[in-house]
Copies of this chain bind each other. A is one copy, B any other.
Amino acid sequence: MSRERADAGSAVAGWTEPPAQLMRNGERPVDEEEPRWLSSIEQQAWRAHLAAHKLLEHRLDRDLQTFGLSVNDYEILVNLSESPGHRMRMSDLADATIQSRSRLSHQISRMEAAGLVARETCADDRRGTFAVLTEHGWATIQKVAPHHVASVRQHFIDLLTDDQLRELETAYAPVVSHLKSLR
């Protein structure tokens, strides 16, 4: 199979347009209804959402690396520091950070090696293992949080108006609600 290629334009990742001029020359996907490809504004909004998040995560990760942390480490530290006794059941921590138990387990092992958290099993509680913030983990989140909030301001929050922040929260609320209902 060989196909003519049209011009590719800029190589920005688009995930939802017809891939590579799929629909040219009357070609259609076999055994499918016509897909509802995104309109121009839908495409722009979707790309902006993806690009903003990906670039932002990359930047925040770099800023946190100064302190030997990833954004995922930071999220774990915040969750534990906000929980009674600085501890959470592993299954609850996996839910709170939206990841699988096995992926969380690998991450906790790395953070354990760095002395930030410890695992505890409770003899009275058969519902599993807990992750607990260590003194070093607690000192770390206290030290890093002011720097992290400064990064979040510099690269995101302070670039938007309060009205835009409100609109963003309003727009995302049904998305978050819908996706949580699926989990």
- Of A104-112, A115-123, A168-176, the one touching chain B: A168-176
Q: Among the listed B19, B92, B138, which residue makes an inter-chain contact with A145, where contact means beta carbons less than 8 Å apart?
A: B19
Q: Judging by beta carbons under 8 Å apart, are A141 and B20 in contact?
A: yes
Residues of B within 8 A of A11 (CB): 79, 82-83, 88, 92, 96
Q: Judging by beta carbons under 8 Å apart, are B15 and A148 in contact?
A: yes
Q: Judging by beta carbons under 8 Å apart, are B167 and A164 in contact?
A: yes
DSSP class of A's interface residues: helix, strand, loop or mixed?
A: helix
Beta-carbon contacts under 8 Å, A131-181 to B:
135, 138-139, 141-143, 145-146, 148-150, 152-153, 155-157, 159-160, 162, 164-176, 178-180
Q: Judging by beta carbons under 8 Å apart, are B142 and A13 in contact?
A: no
- What is the minimal beta-carbon distance from A70 to any residue of chain B, in angstroms? 12
- What is the minimal beta-carbon distance from A43 to any residue of chain B, in angstroms? 9
Give me the interface of A with B, judged by CB distance under 8 Å. Answer: 1, 5, 7-9, 11-16, 18-20, 22, 29, 32, 35-38, 41-42, 44-46, 48-49, 51-56, 58-59, 71, 74-75, 77-79, 81-86, 88, 92, 96-99, 135, 138-139, 141-143, 145-146, 148-150, 152-153, 155-157, 159-160, 162, 164-176, 178-180, 182-183
- Chain B residue, CB-CB nearest to A32: B146
What's the number of copies of this chain in the assembled complex?
Answer: 2
Q: Judging by beta carbons under 8 Å apart, are A20 and B81 in contact?
A: yes
A-B contact pairs, 27 of them (CB 8 A): A5-B84, A8-B83, A8-B84, A9-B82, A12-B96, A13-B75, A13-B97, A14-B82, A16-B149, A16-B152, A19-B81, A19-B141, A20-B81, A29-B143, A35-B146, A35-B149, A36-B153, A45-B165, A46-B152, A46-B156, A48-B176, A49-B168, A52-B176, A53-B53, A56-B175, A159-B178, A164-B167
